[in-house]
Amino acid sequence: MKELKLIGFIICSLIIISCSTTKNIKQTSRDGSSYEKAIIAKSISEEYEYVKTVCSNCQFLGQALSYYNDRPYDILNLKKPNGEKVSYYFDISSFFGKGF
């Protein structure tokens, strides 16, 4: 009986690990550089956390709401220390307009 529980635990652990690995692989193709590669966000704070991580020394220039293929997107516009302007696109359809 103990062996059966151990096998069940190992199988469940492998399933959980494989799910989290797949999620990370999908996210790597979503770098936020365009609508097609928009990062799927669950909240506005998640958007800002992402930007702080990938562009820590950037100056925030503004945020815009946009629609593309009938989906809402937040676009965060920043300026890098070297003066280059960059925008990050976030798919906000999971929470936008859903109420508070």
Domain ranges of the chain: 1-30, 32-100
Q: What are phi and psi of 99, to 5 degrees?
A: 90, 180
Kindly report, residue by residue over 34-73, the tens digit of the pLDDT. Answer: 999 999 999 999 999 999 999 989 999 999 999 999 999 9
* Whole-prediction pTM: 0.69
Residue with tokens 């676009």: 75
Give mean pLDDT, residues 17-46.
74
pLDDT at 79 over 90: yes
Higher confidence at residue 62 or residue 10?
Answer: 62
Region of 62 please: left (phi>0), alpha (psi -120 to 50) or beta.
Answer: left
Residue 13 Cα to chain centre, angstroms = 24
Confidence of residue 77 (pLDDT cuts 50, 70, 90): very high
57 Cβ contact partners less than 8 Å away, ≥ 6 residues apart: 80, 81
pLDDT above 90 coverage of the chain, percent: 64
Phi, psi of 93 (to 5 degrees): -65, -20
Measure the CA–CA gap between 58 and 96, rounded to whole angstroms.
26
Q: Is residue 29 pLDDT above 60, yes or no? A: yes
- Secondary-structure class of domain 32-100 per CATH: alpha beta
What is the distance between the alpha carbons of residues 82 and 16, in angstroms, rounded to a whole number?
41
